[in-house]
Amino acid sequence: MVSCTPRATRVLSNGQADHTRRGLLRSRSSALRYSLKFRPAALTRGRRRRFCRRLNTMSDLLTIGKLAAAANVNVETIRFYQRKGLLPEPPRPPGGVRRYPRSLVSRIGFIKRAKLVGFTLREIGELLTLGDGHCRQVQQMTELKLASIEAKLTDLAVMRDALSELLVQCRKQGDSAHCTLVERLAGDPAAGE
């Protein structure tokens, strides 16, 4: 958390205090120190408290790069999820950078885990829309996904058997002018005889 107490003024090498804005302010805490040090009349006790509260809540907000690093994804992944409607896109403040709530890290983790078990982005969007309290609907979606995966596994087993049979026939033929495998895949009925 950022301390809301002003620090001492920077002292130059000649021993004088530096009251200039030389060296642009690089962080919120230095902006806070500058505002509290050089504009004390502008910040009364109440304004100072509100300013500190707003500044401390900003520490819960992340830039897109920090959000990507915290979620262990690429920045373009976050932008892609925003285009797909899986993540909200916060408004850009005038002359500033968008800030994302830290809670999006867990949402991105949910998306990654759901993709890992086979849900499509459309289905993940539906899951996110349903949220908690709709367990029956989530269970139905999961049952449909499981049935789809089992059907794909059955199709893959059939394809594996067909390719194995073609490979056995190709090995039996040896080196000939015509490849049985290519002819069978091309649909030549004479190749199978």
Span 86-136, pLDDT tens digits: 999 888 888 888 899 999 999 999 999 999 998 999 999 988 888 777 888
pTM of the complete model beyond 0.75: no
Distance CA 18, CA 10 (A): 6
CB half-sphere exposure, 68, CA atoms < 13 A: 13
Contact of 181 with 169, CB cutoff 8 Å: yes
How large is the average pLDDT for residues 55-64?
70
Cα–Cα distances (Å) from 97 to 73, 94, 110, 111, in that order, read 19, 8, 25, 24
User: What pLDDT, in 10s, does the model give residues 129-148?
Assistant: 887 778 888 889 899 999 99
For residue 86, the model assigns a pLDDT of 92
